[in-house]
């Protein structure tokens, strides 16, 4: 080993220190991460995780209660099931200002409520209907064989301890997977809109399907493809519409995209119109080793968005985080432009995108056109 003089060592140390200071002073400094009890910071385009973490892994769905202000429900799509971290259950949390978690039940931050008589094979999504009932999407299906289902359960009393019952149970099959003999699409996003459920296939371009339920509380649902988002909006794992119907958000584990929507459009037309436009807001989730966000929903009363991740992280986005004006009292944006569908196409996929390569062969349909069958 070649020896160095003390002056040489000192010179190297000065250079290293200067380089470190230069890196720390650049515009791409790590986003500030809040500690427990702090509101989510606003870092345009970036979403650092909150300081509070969920008690169980594999969170994969999030929905806001219609009846209990500030309460949100989430579920798990896998992971170990123990008495204190059950898998066949709905979980609750309460969020205060800026995403700060608050106690829900007797000081408990994240209580759970068993779903009686149901087994969680792969619960991927959660949404809430007009009456406040919860819908569980058992939608994971990478092997073309898994039975995909929709379960309706009554909303639990957040302060109670009882189990919730399955009210309705429907099978579903996708009609148009190009893989021979395959009647499934892996999916993680479920949305209730204007009296119907919609499912987003987790593949390239994100095809969107309307769900038509059969009469009664059992049977097989019919899926009709109404359009797709197209190149660059791939592998969507959650979707939500704002309470004022002027925004639709989708996310793909790593990135959030928000679309400006026509609040007067209904059902198929609402979603097809959003899919035909470019996102008006974007942000990236930040976590050591990469994010794993699979649940998200707009916070009632405005355009804030809450998220849960499989690695137990919580995220919270203010409108400024994804490129919109800050909210004003009452939950509306500081400026509310009239609806004008943005022109152009979504940004192309990057090398950071990932997809299901075996499920990429769907033809692109004209947004808004109904498929037969």
| Per-residue pLDDT at 125 | 97
| Per-residue pLDDT at 17 | 38
pLDDT over 60 (residue 198):
yes
Distance CA 312, CA 314 (A): 7
**Tens of pLDDT along 322-352?**
999 875 555 444 443 333 433 333 333 333 3
Query: Measured in Å, how far apart are the chain's first and last C-alpha atoms?
Result: 76
- Name the one residue in this structure whose structure tokens are 């009609």: 175
DSSP for residue 193? E
Distance CA 64, CA 42 (A): 22
Mean pLDDT of 104-109: 95
**Tens of pLDDT along 15-47?**
333 333 333 333 345 555 555 667 888 989 999
**Tens of pLDDT along 235-277?**
999 999 999 999 999 999 899 999 999 999 999 999 999 999 9
| Per-residue pLDDT at 275 | 92
| Per-residue pLDDT at 298 | 98
| Per-residue pLDDT at 64 | 98
Mean pLDDT of 273-291: 91
Strand partners, 134: 128, 153
Q: How many C-beta neighbours within 10 Å does residue 294 have?
A: 26
* Mean pLDDT of the residues in the chain: 81
**Tens of pLDDT along 78-90?**
888 888 899 999 9
Mean pLDDT of 85-113: 95
| Per-residue pLDDT at 266 | 97
Q: Which residue has the higher pLDDT, 13 or 290?
A: 290
| Per-residue pLDDT at 329 | 52
| Per-residue pLDDT at 144 | 80
Mean pLDDT of 46-65: 94
Comparing C-alpha atoms, which of 31, 23, 53 is closest to residue 321? 31
Judge residue 96's burial from the number of C-beta atoms within 10 Å of its C-beta, 0-12 exposed, 13-18 middle, 19 or more buried: exposed
**Tens of pLDDT along 148-172?**
999 999 999 999 999 999 999 999 9
Buried b / exposed e over 323-347, threshold 16 CB at 10 Å, is ebeebeeeeebeeeeeeeeeeeebe
**Tens of pLDDT along 199-245?**
999 989 999 999 999 999 999 999 999 999 998 899 999 999 999 99
Handedness of CA 57, 286, 253, 125 (dihedral sign): positive
Mean pLDDT of 114-139: 96
DSSP 265-285: --HHHHHHHHHTS--SEEEEE
| Per-residue pLDDT at 279 | 94
Q: How confident is the model at residue 4 (pLDDT cuts 50, 70, 90)?
A: very low
Mean pLDDT of 45-65: 94
Tell which CATH classification among 1.20.58, 2.40.50, 2.120.10, 1.10.357 matches the domain 40-327+340-359: 2.120.10
Structure pTM? Answer: 0.80
| Per-residue pLDDT at 290 | 83
DSSP for residue 142? S
Q: Which residue has the higher pLDDT, 373 or 68?
A: 68
**DSSP3 helix / strand / coil % (the chain, rounded to 5):** 10, 35, 55
Ranges of each domain in the chain: 40-327+340-359
């Amino acid at each position: 080993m070649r020896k160095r003089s003390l002056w040489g060592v000192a010179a190297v140390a000065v250079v290293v220190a200067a380089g470190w200071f230069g890196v720390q002073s650049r515009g791409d400094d790590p986003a500030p991460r809040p500690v427990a009890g702090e509101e989510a910071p606003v870092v345009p385009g970036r979403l650092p995780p909150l300081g509070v973490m969920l008690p169980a892994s594999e969170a994969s769905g999030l929905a806001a209660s219609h009846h209990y202000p500030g309460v949100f429900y989430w579920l798990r799509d896998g992971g170990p099931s123990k008495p204190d971290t059950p898998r066949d259950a709905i979980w609750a949390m309460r969020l205060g200002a800026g995403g700060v978690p608050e106690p829900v039940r007797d000081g408990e931050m994240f209580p759970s409520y068993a779903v009686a008589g149901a087994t969680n094979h792969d619960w991927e999504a959660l949404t809430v209907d007009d009456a406040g009932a919860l819908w569980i999407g058992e939608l994971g299906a990478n092997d073309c064989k898994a039975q995909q289902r929709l379960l309706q359960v009554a909303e639990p009393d957040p302060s109670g301890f009882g189990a919730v019952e399955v009210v309705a149970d429907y099978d579903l099959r996708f009609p148009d997977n190009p893989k021979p003999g395959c009647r499934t699409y892996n999916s993680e996003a479920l949305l209730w809109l204007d009296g119907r459920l919609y499912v987003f296939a987790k593949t390239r371009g994100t095809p969107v399907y309307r769900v038509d339920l059969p009469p009664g509380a059992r049977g097989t649902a019919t899926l009709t493809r109404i359009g797709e988002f197209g190149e660059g909006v791939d592998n969507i794992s959650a979707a939500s519409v704002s309470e004022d119907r002027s925004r639709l958000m989708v996310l793909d584990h790593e990135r959030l995209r928000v679309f400006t929507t026509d609040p007067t459009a209904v059902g198929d037309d609402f979603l097809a119109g959003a899919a035909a436009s470019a996102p008006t807001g974007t942000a990236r989730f930040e976590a050591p080793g990469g994010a794993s966000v699979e649940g998200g929903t707009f916070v009632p009363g405005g355009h804030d968005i809450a998220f849960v991740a499989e690695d137990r992280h919580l995220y919270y986005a203010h409108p400024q985080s994804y490129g919109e004006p800050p909210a004003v009292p009452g939950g509306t944006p500081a400026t509310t432009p009239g609806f004008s569908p943005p022109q152009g196409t979504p940004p192309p996929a990057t090398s950071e995108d990932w997809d299901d390569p075996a499920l990429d062969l769907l033809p692109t349909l004209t947004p808004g056109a109904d498929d037969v069958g």
